[in-house]
Structure formats: structure tokens, C-alpha cells
């Protein structure tokens, strides 16, 4: 899909209905819907003064701004309702700033009130079970339960009756470029295709293979075979050539990757040394991993 392709709606059909079921809506005393997704004027939202993050890299903001101009906001902001038509950011300040830069007048947002965490958790868990949600919508719900409801992956696994590997595989999809997430959301590719693309660490290569899947109508098996047969770049020198991990080390690498919802690599050399690396995509992603490692 080229950058000049027709812009898709900001919210998919399923995402817009995520929390708008009459049995699971969270409604405040004055009758405004809380917990569902709403389009809010940017002018009605204020930044959180207690946000510990004060520095935002300009280049990263510029890139996000361009992405929003093309694809809209894939992941809604989360705001707290302060009063009549006034809201304060809980999370998503980078998306908020980039939206201002892109000239948007309104943005999609989850609305929260002070004591709605338990109800939000119940609504999200119930809606994850719905069959009409696509993989990106499910991933966003998993991420919200982990971050906003302070659940561990073990607790989340029990609540939604899904394996930790299934949860980790969904959340990894949110690391893909926005164009590919839109493709999953709009059923241009399947979750199986997207999982294959996540294995590629280079965003340019991910987009190249994504467009190849669409143009050549490749099946999941096709793209998996193609990626396996592709020559891999050497990342270590010949004098420190890495050797294969043993079975227990491979199990640990896969376990740690699922535990952290991140790409983990272990390299060993014949000399017995090596390195363990954990990939993160942003400062907030790094902080998320650090918190998980502390538990």
C-alpha cells in the first residue's frame, strides 16, 4: 500500500464499537459515556502536568505526525474527564502532540473517570471475547488491561482465558508500522501474515514484504517460506562467530520474549562470551519492560 493510497477511516468498525455495547458501557452520573471511544476536540484536552516525561524527540514527533496525516490515529488517547467538556490526558501525549502538529481538530480517545478501573477492566475483558474484533483491536485491549489496570500477563491470561503466548503475539502486532496495523485492521492481511512480519527487525523490510503479500496475494505459508529462505545479514564478525543455542537456552529466549512482549536475542561465541539483547521501540516501551523485570 503506497503512502498516496486513499486514507482509511481513523476507527475501524469493530474498534468504534469496542465499548459501546449497551450492557458494558460505563456511564458517569451526568450521563456521558465513559469507557467507550469518543471523538474529542483537541482544544478540550489538556496535558497531564504530572507526566514525568518532559522531553519528546522532535524527529520522532515529526515522523508520527506524518503517519497520523496518512493513517489517522491507530491507538486512541486515554483521557480523564475533568468537568463539562474538559479532559486531561492519562496516556498518549506523543500522539496528542503529533495530532496538534498535523492540524487535526479532534482525536479518538478513551474516556475515564476517577473510580472506573474495575468497570473498565470488566468491559474490556467481556469485549475481548467478541468475535467481531480484529487482531489489532484485541491487541489494544490487551495492552490497556496490562498498562491501565496494572495486570500482569499471568493475571490477564486467567481473566481472558487465553494463553500468555497468544497475548504476547497480539501485543507484538502493535510494534509494526502504522500502515501494516491498518492492513490488519482492514483485513488486507491476516494476523498470521502480521506475525511473520514482526520477525523482521527492519521497518523498511517489513513494509516491503507487506506490500509484496498484497500485490502477489501471498498466503501465510508463502511469506513464512520466503522469509526463511531469505539470506540473513551477518551481525557478528567472523572472529566472534555466534554458535547455536542449546535447547534450554532457546526455551529461555522464547519465554523471556513472551514474558516481556519484546524481541529477545541471545548470541554466544565459541569463547563462551556473548550478549543478551532486548529490543524496545520507545522510551515508554523501555519503561514497560523495566517494570516487568522488577516483578
Asked if residue 254 has pLDDT above 90, the reply is no
pLDDT of residue 20: 37
Segment 30-57, tens digit of pLDDT: 444 555 688 999 999 988 765 545 566 7
CB 72 within 8 A of CB 10: yes
Nearest-angstrom CA–CA distance, 10 and 12: 7
Q: Where are the beta strands (DSSP E) in 173-245?
A: 242-243
Task: Domain 13-175: give its CATH architecture.
Answer: Alpha-Beta Complex (3.90)
CB 246 within 8 A of CB 152: no
pLDDT of residue 75: 86
pLDDT of residue 209: 95
Mean pLDDT of the chain: 78
The CATH fold assigned to 238-294 is Alpha-Beta Plaits (3.30.70)
Helices (H) and strands (E) in the chain, counts: 13, 10
pLDDT of residue 280: 82
CB 264 within 8 A of CB 276: yes
Nearest-angstrom CA–CA distance, 140 and 146: 10
Q: What pLDDT band is residue 7 in, cutting at 50, 70 and 90?
A: very low
Name the active-site residue from 59, 63, 93, 224. 93
Q: For residue 1, what is the enclosing H or E element?
A: none
Residue spans of the domains in the chain: they are 13-175, 189-229, 238-294
Q: What average pLDDT does this structure show over 249-274?
A: 82
pLDDT of residue 55: 62
Half-sphere exposure of 249 (CA within 13 A, CB side): 11
The residues facing 109 across adjacent strands are 38, 77
Segment 140-183, tens digit of pLDDT: 889 888 887 888 888 889 888 888 889 989 999 999 999 999 99
pLDDT of residue 197: 95
Backbone angles phi, psi at 156, to 5 degrees: -65, -40
Asked if residue 19 has pLDDT above 50, the reply is no
Q: For residue 239, what is the enclosing H or E element?
A: none
Whether 93 is a known active-site residue: answer yes
Nearest-angstrom CA–CA distance, 150 and 2: 38
CB neighbours of 97 closer than 8 A, spacing ≥ 6? 56, 61
The residues facing 46 across adjacent strands are 88
pLDDT of residue 238: 41
pLDDT of residue 6: 40
CB neighbours of 119 closer than 8 A, spacing ≥ 6? 26, 35
Amino acid at each position: 500500500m503506497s503512502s498516496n493510497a486513499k486514507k482509511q477511516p481513523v476507527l475501524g468498525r469493530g474498534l468504534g464499537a469496542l465499548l459501546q455495547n449497551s450492557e458494558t458501557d460505563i456511564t458517569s452520573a451526568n450521563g456521558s459515556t465513559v469507557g467507550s471511544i469518543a471523538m474529542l476536540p483537541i482544544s478540550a484536552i489538556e496535558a497531564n502536568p504530572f507526566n514525568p516525561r518532559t522531553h519528546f524527540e522532535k524527529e520522532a514527533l515529526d515522523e508520527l505526525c506524518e503517519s497520523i496525516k496518512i493513517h489517522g490515529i491507530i491507538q486512541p488517547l486515554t483521557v480523564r474527564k475533568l468537568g463539562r467538556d474538559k479532559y486531561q490526558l492519562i496516556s498518549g501525549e506523543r500522539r496528542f502532540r503529533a495530532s496538534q502538529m498535523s492540524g487535526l481538530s479532534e482525536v479518538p480517545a478513551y474516556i475515564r473517570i476517577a473510580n472506573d478501573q474495575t468497570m473498565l477492566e470488566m468491559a474490556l475483558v467481556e469485549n475481548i471475547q467478541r468475535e467481531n474484533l480484529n487482531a489489532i483491536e484485541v491487541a489494544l485491549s490487551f495492552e490497556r488491561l496490562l498498562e491501565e489496570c496494572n495486570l500482569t500477563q499471568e493475571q490477564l491470561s486467567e481473566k481472558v482465558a487465553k494463553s500468555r503466548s497468544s497475548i504476547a503475539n497480539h501485543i507484538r502486532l502493535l510494534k509494526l508500522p502504522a500502515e501494516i496495523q491498518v492492513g490488519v485492521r482492514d483485513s488486507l492481511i491476516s494476523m498470521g501474515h502480521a506475525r511473520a512480519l514482526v520477525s523482521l527487525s527492519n521497518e523498511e523490510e517489513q513494509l516491503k514484504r507487506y506490500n509484496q503479500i498484497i500485490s502477489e496475494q501471498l498466503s501465510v505459508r508463502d511469506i513464512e517460506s520466503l522469509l526463511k529462505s531469505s539470506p540473513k545479514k551477518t551481525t557478528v564478525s567472523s572472529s566472534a562467530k555466534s554458535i547455536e543455542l542449546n535447547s534450554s537456552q532457546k526455551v529461555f529466549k522464547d519465554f523471556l520474549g513472551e514474558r516481556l512482549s519484546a524481541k529477545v536475542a541471545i548470541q554466544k561465541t565459541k569463547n563462551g562470551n556473548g550478549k543478551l539483547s532486548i529490543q524496545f521501540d520507545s522510551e515508554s516501551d523501555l519503561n514497560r519492560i523495566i517494570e516487568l523485570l522488577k516483578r
